Chains A and B, each alone.
Chain A
Amino acid sequence: MKKIFLAIVCLTFLFVIGVTPGYAQKEVAYLSLADYTGAIAGLNVPADMGCEDYIKDLNARGGVDGVKVKFIGVDTRYDVARGVSAYKRYRTEPKLLVVNAIGTPIGKAVAPLTTKDKLITLVPGDGEFQANLGRIFAWGPTYQDAFAATVDWLLADWKKKGKTGMPKLGFISWDSAYGREPLRGGKEYAEKMGVAMAPPEFFPAGSLDHTVYLNRLAKAEVNYIFVGGVDPTPTNVIRDAHKLGLTKTIQFFCDYWGPTSLGTRLHPEALEGVVMGSYYLRGDDARKHPLANLWTKYGRGKLEDMNEVYTIGMSWAITFEAALKNALKQVGYKKLDGEAIFQAYQNLTGVQRAGLQGPCAYSPTSRRGSLEIKFYQVRAGKVVSISDWIKAPDAVSLHKF
């Protein structure tokens, strides 16, 4: 009888330890709702390569205080329905802490779910999430802040060129929530600074020709044009502007997703002189960064072929590493959950990410990944740094959300 009793106790013990995560390898999950084969795959693939490679390297170094990170990348094809479905599929993943949404629409769609699940979501640059503080964090300065910094840059440029009066600014981008976001606060900032704006032009993503929109802006006699859209869209818009002869008289700007070094190789003449505001390192700044060696270490190819958005992915991973360390210190592995990581992300103010972008600006009152942007210019087919890190103005607060 004693033997039966002992056997049952042993079986029960084995069953209990089998279902208790504390006895398994310590691991947390990071979910990327990505686009690997769709419309913005050209940028997302290298960005997630950077994130995954940094995590591989981190795990090879033992993880964060012994806790390994599981990178889960799901190809949503930039499709909101697939994004929501993928989140539903992976939301029960053990110790899932962070969901990175590659696109504004996917981020907005899954946000109510991740918020209910008390996880955090990372999104590109929507000012809305800074205006309405919650569990959604932007990767860098918001789109409207970067637009406002560009307004400052063009005013200085106008003055430097000895021009009188005030310049006029044109805006052209995708007809989408992302395309309109820079103006939600950015337009107010331009008005505040005395910069007149021509009516903005919006076109469907995938348009073959942009001359109609560009001609309207030219007719409005703008001096500067801000081009939105994810590359290669901006490259194609400026290529069309070059064909129309507009690049001779109008200075063109792009946002974070403007031409990469690879894009500038294809249309060096058309893109010559284009200025881009970026919250992450571009061109040789990115390739000469010590962490860029992960590109070759993990067999991604030659360094000269590294798309600089690779560094964005590393920055996501470094931020997550810092938050995980903070959360583990606060609550330990057993109690580590979405709430703990939410608190940790708000405690990352000032954290450095090896200079890949400005210091982290997350705090209880900030959802901006950083506050600074750097200006780059296309010169002789290369993307060259033309400024230090510059703090972007707060344009979010100027808009009523």
Chain B
Amino acid sequence: MNSFRKIMIVLSLLIFLLPFMACSTLFPPPKPKATVAVTPAQVELAFPGILRVPIVFTGTGWKPKEMVVVDMVLPPGVQMQGVKPGEDVGIAYGEADDAGNFKGEVPASAKLNTFFRVGYTLILSIDPKTLNPIPPGVYTIKASGTDSGALATTTLEFVAPIKK
């Protein structure tokens, strides 16, 4: 009777654990150690000067040929058209090369839509009256690999326009 009890307990535990063991996503393969950096690390929120400043993300350790998406984390209270509360906002992307290095530049559209939160006129040009720069501060940047799922973070600091 005692041994029957033991068998039943082991069997029960096995039945309970089976779905977890079958679900491989619970035990994903190790991810490569990925990095991301941004140049420059500090950007002046000056318009239209910002359009002339290349903001470039680079990284290493990504899966070769995977696309790396760069998102900016919006602090609580910072609202943005097209972005739901709690969502991050995409600001750049790039494809990793054969060695796992990637490079992605923030396009002008992201500078306008995201850093300056612009509106548009009826003739599709940006409406200068709607320029609404994000609050200066240090923002968290998340880079993620679309194949590997690898994640790396850095920061990007925005400073108020310097009065000249």
Known contacts A79-B107, A233-B124, A236-B123; can you find 5 more A-B pairs with CB under 8 A?
A5-B12, A37-B82, A82-B113, A206-B123, A230-B124
A12 adjacent to B82 (CB under 8 Å): no
Cα–Cα distance between A37 and B112 once the two chains are bound (Å): 13
By a beta-carbon cutoff of 8 Å, the part of chain B in contact with chain A is: 5, 8, 11-13, 15-16, 18-19, 23, 67, 69-71, 81-82, 87-93, 95, 106-107, 109-110, 113-114, 119-126, 144, 146-147
Which residues of chain B are within 8 angstroms of A208 by Cβ–Cβ distance?
123, 125
Cβ of B72 to closest chain A Cβ, rounded Å:
10
Partner of B147, one of A42, A116, A206: A116
30 residue pairs of the A-B complex, CB under 8 angstroms, read A5-B8, A8-B13, A9-B12, A11-B16, A12-B18, A19-B19, A37-B81, A38-B113, A76-B82, A77-B81, A77-B82, A79-B90, A79-B110, A79-B113, A81-B90, A81-B92, A81-B106, A82-B82, A82-B90, A82-B110, A82-B113, A84-B69, A85-B91, A86-B90, A88-B69, A88-B144, A113-B146, A205-B125, A206-B123, A236-B123
Cα–Cα distance between A11 and B17 once the two chains are bound (Å): 11
Which residues of chain A are within 8 angstroms of B67 by Cβ–Cβ distance?
84, 112-113
Partner of B109, one of A5, A42, A78: A78
Q: Across the interface, name the chain A residue whose C-beta is closest to B106.
A: A81
Which residues of chain A are within 8 angstroms of B120 by Cβ–Cβ distance?
38-39, 41, 206
A205 adjacent to B90 (CB under 8 Å): no
Which residues of chain A are within 8 angstroms of B12 by Cβ–Cβ distance?
4-5, 8-9
B90 adjacent to A206 (CB under 8 Å): no
Of residues 293 through 335 on chain A, the ones whose CB sits less than 8 Å from some CB of chain B are none
Cα–Cα distance between A38 and B147 once the two chains are bound (Å): 30
Cα–Cα distance between A83 and B69 once the two chains are bound (Å): 10
Dominant secondary structure at the B interface: mixed
A16 within 8 A of B: yes
Which residues of chain A are within 8 angstroms of B71 by Cβ–Cβ distance?
85
Cβ of B43 to closest chain A Cβ, rounded Å:
16
By a beta-carbon cutoff of 8 Å, the part of chain A in contact with chain B is: 1, 4-5, 8-9, 11-12, 15-16, 19, 36-42, 74-86, 88-89, 91, 109, 112-113, 116, 205-208, 230, 232-233, 236
Cα–Cα distance between A205 and B108 once the two chains are bound (Å): 13
A36 adjacent to B107 (CB under 8 Å): no
Contact (A80, B107) CB under 8 Å given A38-B120, A39-B120, A230-B124: yes
Which residues of chain B are within 8 angstroms of A91 by Cβ–Cβ distance?
146
Cα–Cα distance between A41 and B71 once the two chains are bound (Å): 23
Count of A-B contacts judged by CB separation below 8 Å: 110
Cβ of A218 to closest chain B Cβ, rounded Å:
22
Partner of A12, one of B19, B23, B91, B147: B19
Cβ of A325 to closest chain B Cβ, rounded Å:
31
Cα–Cα distance between A5 and B5 once the two chains are bound (Å): 10
A85 adjacent to B16 (CB under 8 Å): no
Q: Which 10 pairs across A and B sit closest by C-beta, in order of nearness?
A: A85-B90, A206-B125, A75-B82, A79-B109, A81-B90, A8-B12, A84-B93, A82-B90, A77-B113, A81-B110
Which residues of chain A are within 8 angstroms of B18 by Cβ–Cβ distance?
12
Contact (A109, B81) CB under 8 Å given A40-B124, A89-B87, A206-B123: no
A8 adjacent to B15 (CB under 8 Å): yes
Which residues of chain B are within 8 angstroms of A230 by Cβ–Cβ distance?
124
Which residues of chain A are within 8 angstroms of B124 by Cβ–Cβ distance?
39-40, 205-206, 230, 232-233
Cβ of B13 to closest chain A Cβ, rounded Å:
8
Interface centre among A77, A205, A232 (most CB of B within 10 A): A77
A80 adjacent to B122 (CB under 8 Å): no
Cα–Cα distance between A134 and B162 once the two chains are bound (Å): 50
B8 adjacent to A1 (CB under 8 Å): yes
Q: Across the interface, name the chain B residue whose C-beta is closest to A41.
A: B120
Which residues of chain A are within 8 angstroms of B19 by Cβ–Cβ distance?
12, 15-16, 19
Interface centre among B5, B23, B89, B90 (most CB of A within 10 A): B90
B90 adjacent to A84 (CB under 8 Å): yes
Cβ of A243 to closest chain B Cβ, rounded Å:
15
B109 adjacent to A77 (CB under 8 Å): yes
